[in-house]
Structure 1
Amino acid sequence: MSFRLAGFRPAVVNAVALVLALSAGVAFAQNTKAPTKAPATAASSEAKPAAASSAPATATAAPAPAASDDQAMASAKPGDATAGQAKAAACGACHGADGNSSDPQYPKLAGQHEMYIAHQLHNFKTGARQNAIMLGMASPLSAQDMHDIGAYFASKRSLPGVADEAVVEQGQKLYRSGDPARGIPACMACHSIDGRGNPGAMYPQLTSQHAQYIEAKLKDFHDGVTWGTEAHAQIMPTIAKKLDPQDITALASYIEGLHVADNHAPASASP
């Protein structure tokens, strides 16, 4: 983990009728037959409606409803990054072709976890997370599309950002230690010390994210904006409301400068 510091940078009706008619026939038969015959008549009458109703069912039953969005997400296969590259073409206009957006109002997606991206696209599509542009982008996507797009961006590397030297110390303290006196937990408890997050728990990667984007989202959370009704979506609003404007600015800048050191330099060629 390391930092970069910079200068200051801010058919159903027919079936029902048939069943009712047959039921009426059963009641009539029970009233007119001898009591000793009633059980046998009832049994045979019950068998007839079952047989009669089962025959037309194949012709008149409505088609089974499509799986819900939640069911579709749960049954989607792991994403295919190759397929996702083509599906993510439209995303590049705002987020960059490789997920490294040049406009800081749009988040970097490079290196973000597949499940997190797919889940947020699902939230946009269902309206759990409100954004008019992303609603339009996510609405045509299937659950598999979302996973494929997520896999594509997850395969990319987030380019390192820079932090404002003047606020790094405050941002680092909050990120690593929180502020117990104010009930603020350390950010790294969920997002990890290097900002890579926790894919299993769907805590997003933060490392190198634009400070402008982080600041805007923390302010939203502070003001009570949530990204759904699930318990997982209540975590950040609960924490962010305890942050003051200076905390938010410092954290956002620190996070932009937070990145994983490149320990994968190519090996030297053999003699």
Structure 2
Amino acid sequence: MKQTMAMVAIAGVMTASSALAETAAKGDPAKAQQIVTTVCVACHAADGNSVVPANPKLAGQIPEYIAKQLTDFKSGARKNPIMFGMAAALSPEDMKNLGAFFGEKKAASGSAKDPALAAAGQKLFKGGNQSSGVPACAACHGPSGSGIPAQFPRLAGQHADYILAQLTTFRSGERANDGAKMMRVIASKMTDQEMKAVSEYISGLN
């Protein structure tokens, strides 16, 4: 079982690396300032530390990941009516610049609201669930949730509501821009309670 999980993780790394190849060039954060203050600020705040649980925190996120998501929103590979409209006018250079802008911002500290639920989530995040084939989240996102540039996104301190929503859409197939279906496969094996627990734990990582 451990060998299978490791093979899944390795396959995901290779797929993610290939998918992010086009967004690997560094952006210029200064050139993103106007877009941030006129477009992004309403939902994600000026420094990327959204205070609205439904809107993800972007501060400290891996730049290539942000650029890749914007690319997918624009193409429709990742479906979201609001972000589709926001990304429609962005050029590939704009996307890289936005990634660089938010990537250099300091992520605000998060906190778990339910200690018992977070404790259950910690076990899953660090050790997975071998009986159901769910690998440890830390295998791809790092033990501290800081992600692996430029392959897997930062999760630490992200809103629990947002993490839960993404796991749910991966499981349903509504979100399908995860390369070799890595997150869809993982989420399909998770229970509702496991999703809630790991989301709560992630929200308290800093």
Counterpart for residue 59 of structure 2:
110
* Residue identity matched to 2:109: P
Contact 1:76 1:144 (C-alpha < 8 Å) held by counterparts: no
1:7-18, aligned counterparts within 5 Å? none
Counterpart for residue 189 of structure 1:
139
In structure 2, the gaps of 5 or more residues are: 1-20
- The percent identity for this pair of structures is 46
* Residue identity matched to 1:218: L
Instruction: Please give the per-residue CA displacement for 1:100-123, whole angstroms capped at 9, x wherever unaligned.
Output: 001110000000011000000000
Distance 1:157 1:239, change over 3 A: same
Instruction: Please give the per-residue CA displacement for 1:67-122, whole angstroms capped at 9, x wherever unaligned.
Output: xxxxxx83884100111222222101001110000111000000001100000000
Counterpart for residue 132 of structure 1:
81
Q: Distance in 1 between matches of 2:178 and 2:26?
A: 25
In structure 1, the gaps of 5 or more residues are: 1-72, 260-271
Shift in Å, 1:200: 2.6
TM-score by length of 1: 0.65
Instruction: Please give the per-residue CA displacement for 1:105-148, whole angstroms capped at 9, x wherever unaligned.
Output: 00000000110000000000000011111111101111000000
Q: Distance in 2 between matches of 1:115 and 1:227?
A: 18
Higher relative CO (CA 8 A, sep ≥ 6), structure 1 or 2? Answer: 2
Counterpart for residue 84 of structure 1:
32
Distance 1:75 1:191, change over 3 A: closer
Contact 1:76 1:143 (C-alpha < 8 Å) held by counterparts: no
Contact 1:182 1:242 (C-alpha < 8 Å) held by counterparts: yes
Instruction: Please give the per-residue CA displacement for 1:240-259, whole angstroms capped at 9, x wherever unaligned.
Output: 11111110111010000011
Shift in Å, 1:229: 7.3
Larger radius of gyration: 1
Shift in Å, 1:160: 1.2
Asked whether 1:74 is paired with 2:22, we answer: yes
* Residue identity matched to 1:249: K
Asked whether 1:94 is paired with 2:43, we answer: yes
Counterpart for residue 167 of structure 2:
218
Q: Distance in 2 between matches of 1:139 and 1:112?
A: 21
1:128-167, aligned counterparts within 5 Å? 128-163=77-112, 164-167=114-117
Q: Distance in 1 between matches of 2:136 and 2:178?
A: 24
Shift in Å, 1:230: 3.4
Contact 2:23 2:96 (C-alpha < 8 Å) held by counterparts: no
Runs of 4+ in 1 over 6 A off after TM superposition: none
Q: Distance in 1 between matches of 2:178 and 2:143?
A: 28
